[in-house]
Copies of this chain bind each other. A is one copy, B any other.
Amino acid sequence: MNPTATLLISCPDQKGLVAKIANFIYANGGNIIHADQHTDFAAGLFLTRIEWQLDEFNLPREFIAPAFSAIAQPLQAHWQLHFSDTIPRIAIWVSKQDHCLFDLIWRQKAKEFTAEIPVIISNHPDLKEVAEQFGIDFHYIPITKENKSTQEVKQLELLQEYKINLVVLAKYMQIVSTEFITQFPKIINIHHSFLPAFVGASPYHQAYERGVKIIGATAHYVTSELDAGPIIEQDVARVSHRDDVADLIRKGKDLERVVLARAVRLHLQNRVLVYGNRTVVFE
A residues at B contact (CB < 8 Å):
15-19, 22-23, 25-27, 29-42, 56, 98-99, 102, 106, 110, 112, 133, 194-198, 209-214, 216, 230-236, 238, 240-242, 244, 250, 253-254, 258, 277-281, 283
Cβ–Cβ < 8 Å partners of A19 in chain B: 19, 22-23, 25-27
Given known contacts A106-B102, A231-B212, A241 and B18 CB-to-CB distance under 8 angstroms: no
Chain A at the B interface: SS class: mixed
A36 touches B36 (CB 8 A): yes
Chain B, residue nearest A47 (CB): B241
CA–CA, A150 and B163, complex, Å: 55
- CB-CB nearest in chain B for A23: B19
User: Contact between B194 and A283 (Cβ–Cβ < 8 Å)?
Assistant: no
Contact A231 B216 (CB under 8 A): no
Q: Residue on B with the closest CB to A233?
A: B213
Chain B: which residue is nearest A196 at the CB level?
A: B197
A234 touches B214 (CB 8 A): yes
For A237, give the chain B residue with the smallest CB separation: B258
Query: Contact partner of A241 among B110, B244, B280, CB < 8 A?
Result: B280
Which one of B15, B41, B102 lies within 8 Å of A26 (CB-CB)? B15
User: Which of B23, B38, B236 touches A242 (beta carbons < 8 Å)?
Assistant: B38
- Chain B residues whose CB sits within 8 angstroms of the CB of A33 once the complex forms: 39, 41
3 A-B pairs with the lowest CB-CB distances in the bound complex, closest first: A211-B278, A19-B22, A19-B26
In the assembled complex, the Cα of A225 lies from the Cα of B274 at a distance in Å of 36
| Complex contacts, A133 vs chain B, CB 8 Å | 133
Neighbouring B residues of A250 by C-beta, 8 Å: 112
- Inter-chain contact A234/B212, CB cutoff 8 Å: yes
Chain B residues with CB under 8 A of A209? 277
B residues less than 8 Å from A38 (CB atoms): 241-242
The answer to whether residues A35 and B32 also contact, given A211-B278, A242-B283 and a CB cut-off of 8 A, is no
Cβ 8 A contact of A195, one of B106, B212, B278: B212
Question: What CA separation (Å) do A231 and B238 show in the bound complex?
Answer: 13
Contacts of A30 in B (CB 8 A): 15
* Chain B contacts for A112, CB-based, 8 A: 250
Q: A15-B29, A31-B15, A194-B194 are in contact. Are A244 and B213 (CB under 8 A)?
A: no
| 9 contacting pairs across A/B (C-beta < 8 A) | A23-B23, A194-B197, A195-B197, A195-B210, A209-B277, A213-B234, A214-B234, A236-B236, A241-B279
How many whole Å from A222's CB to the nearest CB in chain B? 15
Chain B residues positioned under 8 Å from A211 (CB to CB): 230-231, 277-279
Q: Which residue of B lies closest to A274 (CB)?
A: B211
Q: B residues within 8 A CB of A37? A: 32, 34-36
